[in-house]
Amino acid sequence: MSIARLTNLLPAKMASQVDAYFEAVDTLAEVKDPKVLASLAPAGVRGLLLRRGKQGTPTRIQANHQAHFDWTYPHDQPGMAELYRRAKQGQWDADVVLPWGTDVDPLNPEVPLIPDSFVDFERLERFGIRLDARERMEFRFSVVAWMLSQFLHGEQGALFAAAQVTEAVQFFDGKLYGATQVMDEGRHVEVFSRYLDDKLGRLYQINDNLYVIIDALMSDGRWDMKFLGMQIMVEGLALGAFGTLYRQTREPLLRQLLKMVIQDEARHVHYGVLALREHITKEISERERQEREDWAFEVALLMRNRFMAYEVYEEWFEGRVSRETWREIITGLPGMQEFRQVMFSRLVPNLREIGLLTPRVLPHYERVGLLRYMHGASADQLSGEQLVAELERAA
Smallest distance, Fe ion to C-beta of residue 256, A: 16
| Binding-site ranges for Fe ion (CB under 5 A) | 155, 158, 185, 188, 235, 265, 268
Considering the complex, what minimum distance in angstroms separates the CB of residue 187 from Fe ion?
8
Q: Give how far Cα 280 sits from Cα of 49, 174, 243, 346, 383, Å.
A: 33, 16, 28, 19, 23
Q: C-beta of 158: minimal distance to Fe ion in Å?
A: 5
CB atoms within 10 A of CB 122: 7
276/283 Cα distance (integer angstroms): 10
Spell out the residues 6+ positions from residue 109 whose beta carbon is closer than 8 angstroms to its own. Answer: 137
Measure the CA angle with vertex 118, ends 117 and 123; round to 5°.
75
Smallest separation (angstroms) from Fe ion to the CB of 368: 26
Cα 385 to Cα 110: distance, rounded to the nearest angstrom: 29
Q: Quick check: 164 and 65 in contact, CB under 8 A? A: yes
Q: Could you tell me the smallest distance in angstroms from the CB atom of residue 353 to Fe ion? A: 18
Residue with Cβ nearer Fe ion (151 or 344): 151
CA 233 – CA 31 distance, rounded (Å): 17
To the nearest whole angstrom, how small is the minimum distance from the Cβ of residue 27 to Fe ion?
25
CB closer to Fe ion out of 121 and 160:
160
**Which CB sits closer to Fe ion, 156 or 331?**
156
Give me the sign of the Cα torsion angle 251, 257, 260, 264.
Answer: negative
CB-wise, 173 or 184, nearer to Fe ion?
184
Is the CB of 63 or the CB of 183 nearer to Fe ion? Answer: 183
CA distance 226 to 161: 7
Contact 327, 352 (CB under 8 A): no
Pick between residue 155 and residue 311 the one whose CB is nearest to Fe ion: 155
What minimum distance in Å lies between the beta carbon of 233 and Fe ion? 12
Q: Which of 245, 269, 233, 272 is nearest to 386 (CA)?
A: 269
Q: Which amino acid is it at 170?
A: Q
Q: Which one, 188 or 346, has the nearer CB to Fe ion?
A: 188
> Please, what is the minimum distance in Å from the beta carbon of residue 153 to Fe ion?
11
Select 331 or 383, whichever has its Cβ closest to Fe ion.
383
